[in-house]
Structure 1
Amino acid sequence: MVRITDVARHAGVSPSTVSYALSGKRPISEETRRRVEASIRALGYRPHAGARALASSKSNVLALAVPLRAGIHVPVVMQFAVSVVTTARAHDHDVLLLTREEGEEGLGRVADTALVDALIVMDVALDDPRLPLLRSLERPSVLIGFPAEPTGLTCVDLDFRAAGELCVEHLAGLGHRTVALVGSAPEVYVRRTAFAQRVVRGFTAAADRYRLSSSVHPCGSSPAAARATAERLLREQPALTGVVVHNEPVLEPLIDAFEQLGLRVPEDLSVTAICPRELAESLRVPVTSVALPSAEIGTRAVELLMGKLDGAPVAGSTLLPAQLTSRASTAPRRLA
């Protein structure tokens, strides 16, 4: 690793002179500045965050607030986080990951320091208590998720309502008349998490439009919860032939449970999902799905934030279109 002393030796100046050239705290001659800058380029020296902050009054650090609450599927969250970190590094920024469930107070403590220049906030609720603070901060922010009232905020996410609608439309087009949504864990709905609520609205609206018999079932993340949900569905909706799953951990256990209960996929039961493409493709029966574009969403969030930091106008709302890919888990409804 190249150090500031290496730059000083290469330029023939003292380390303090290099520091002054970086920070601008004291005047140095133009010739000396050019010599220091040439040495920095020649050696590939990268000032640490503290030096960059002195030079620009910025930390070059973004905060990513993703509270790891009950019902959160960590592997998917990490896909978002990796995308944010990778894109931020391409813009010469580091990322401070905030995983505690601190809410408004925790965000306020971070925003009141010089630790970060801007914030990305995940796990957004429809009536999220953090919104008044985010609207009042001088530091820019971007939400991955859409609250009920996004005015004055910058938001990006998949169009989850359209995703729920697309799954139902696909099943209706195959002739299915009784469908169910196996949704996120119950606590996700209790928190009124925006993406889960929007899927339910899309699912319900499309089912009503096609005059289907439908129901919504929150489900825990364990195989036992998947089995219990499958049993309940077959008990309460014996005519069920189509399922939409919006709960990544139970997708495979749920298919296994239905088949153990005597329903073959897709011959007797068609299954669709809203999940990462890699998961849908990897299962024993590849699942018809609306892909969750976590990498693209994370990238868009950082790019929006960079635009705001540069003072450029950015879109207040960015909804990525839902796209359904048909695979082996869906088929036309068998007529009795």
Structure 2
Amino acid sequence: MVTLADVARHAGVSASTVSYVLSGKRSISAPTRERIQHSIDTLGYRPHAGARALASSRTGIIALMMPLRTGLYVPVLMEIAMAVTTTARAHGHDVLLLTGEEGPEAVRRVEGSAIADAMIVMDVGIDDPRLPCLRAAERPSVLIGLPGETAEAAQAVDGAAGLDCVDLDFEAAGARCVDHLAGLGHTRIAVLGEPPAVYARGTGFAARTLTGLRAAAEAHGAGLLHRPVEGTYAAVAAAVTRIFEERPGTTGLVVQNEAAVEPLLAFLRHRRLAVPEDVSVVAICPDQVAVHASVPLTAVAVPAREMGRLAVERLVRRLAGNGPGGTELIAPHLTARASTGPASSPRTPFTEDRRGHGGH
């Protein structure tokens, strides 16, 4: 097993100099640091975690709070978690994953036990009960999400209180979807949203998207229906049937529910509605979902990896004493694919289908 003394002999310095480089307690010249790092890499030295923690009062651990709640799309959460983990490792930190729905108690446990140097918090609500504890905590935190304040208010309030926020600008994402459809002549638009439980919890990203959708629809003079929906074929079929019965002229659909994408496309095929000739579909989802859908979807990408990476990088700066950074919202990027086209005179397949089967 390679020891600190072995690294010191290989680098031609004292053991205390190696220790200072590892702990950062003293300023060491750049050439000496580089020589010591070369020796560490060459010998494969790994500092003892317990000893390092005692010497530096740091654990080298970041706690990632990722509650696995009903209605959330787990692959996106895991992609964020993987980005957090790999970025943290690149900066010399390990990640402690907390998946329980403990709320403020989980924050208090991390803060009180000193099991982690800092916290990254996901699934942020409009009125998230964890925020008071995070604001009062000595350990820095970064939210992947945005509380109920506007971006400007969040930057002023949370930045001053020592919290950072990183997220996609979901309000702008919702508006971008409507802008795209309205630009193609669609005046009646419906939204298949997240499952009802997501809205009932006051989840921030879903509420902000809906705000952007509604504002853009009003600005364009377009009609907008919003239907929360579970991601099953039966639930999607019921929701879309209801939409076309209530608004027969609907020609544009926005989907913010990754699990509902394929059930929606399958149901439209079943009803002989061509995409995009009869109905245009826009999604807010990861690129891999949009690209690999049975009809490649026009979509605003959810930049899961970028959100995870930015959260860690901001936290590393905070741990280095570089101060709070406020709120950073990633601008949405819409990629046009095969699922959207100019609005046309809508067909009425639901009425025709019922008549064809003896209905009325």
Q: What TM-score does the superposition give when structure 1 sets the normalisation length?
A: 0.89
Give unmatched runs, 5+ long, in structure 1: 25-33
Once the two structures are TM-superposed, the CA of residue 39 in structure 1 deviates from its matched residue by: 6.8
CA distance in 1, matches of 2:206, 2:189: 18
Mapped contact 1:126–1:193 kept (Cα < 8 A): yes
Q: Counterparts in 2 of 1:305-316, with a 5 A limit?
A: 305-316=315-326
The amino acid across from 1:172 in the alignment is A
Q: Which moved more, 1:197-206 or 1:219-228?
A: 219-228
The reply on whether 1:125 has 2:118 as its aligned counterpart is no
The amino acid across from 2:75 in the alignment is P
Q: 1:136 maps to what in 2?
A: 136
CA distance in 2, matches of 1:233, 1:37: 63
CA distance in 2, matches of 1:41, 1:148: 46
Mapped contact 2:286–2:303 kept (Cα < 8 A): yes
CA distance in 2, matches of 1:95, 1:41: 22
The amino acid across from 1:157 in the alignment is D
CA distance in 1, matches of 2:184, 2:108: 50
SS at match of 1:154: strand
SS at match of 2:263: helix
Q: 2:91 maps to what in 1?
A: 91
Q: Counterparts in 2 of 1:1-336, with a 5 A limit?
A: 2=1, 4=3, 40=40, 42-149=42-149, 150=154, 151-152=157-158, 153-335=163-345
Once the two structures are TM-superposed, the CA of residue 259 in structure 1 deviates from its matched residue by: 2.0
Aligned residues: 321
SS at match of 1:305: helix
Once the two structures are TM-superposed, the CA of residue 133 in structure 1 deviates from its matched residue by: 0.4
Alignment deviations for residues 137-166 of structure 1 (CA, whole Å, 9 cap, x no partner): 010000000101331231010000000000
Mapped contact 2:231–2:259 kept (Cα < 8 A): yes
The amino acid across from 1:56 in the alignment is S
Aligned structure 1 segments of 4 or more residues deviating by more than 3 angstroms? 7-12, 21-24, 36-42
SS at match of 2:95: strand
SS at match of 2:113: coil
CA distance in 2, matches of 1:100, 1:159: 26
CA distance in 2, matches of 1:155, 1:87: 17
Q: Percent identity?
A: 51
Alignment deviations for residues 230-265 of structure 1 (CA, whole Å, 9 cap, x no partner): 222122221110000000011111111122123111
Once the two structures are TM-superposed, the CA of residue 100 in structure 1 deviates from its matched residue by: 0.3
CA distance in 2, matches of 1:9, 1:272: 59
CA change 1:264–1:322 in 2 (3 A) is same
CA distance in 1, matches of 2:245, 2:41: 70
Q: 1:29 maps to what in 2?
A: none
Once the two structures are TM-superposed, the CA of residue 303 in structure 1 deviates from its matched residue by: 0.6
Mapped contact 1:22–1:52 kept (Cα < 8 A): no
CA distance in 2, matches of 1:306, 1:10: 26
CA distance in 1, matches of 2:126, 2:318: 24
CA change 1:121–1:9 in 2 (3 A) is closer
Once the two structures are TM-superposed, the CA of residue 44 in structure 1 deviates from its matched residue by: 1.8
CA distance in 1, matches of 2:61, 2:37: 23
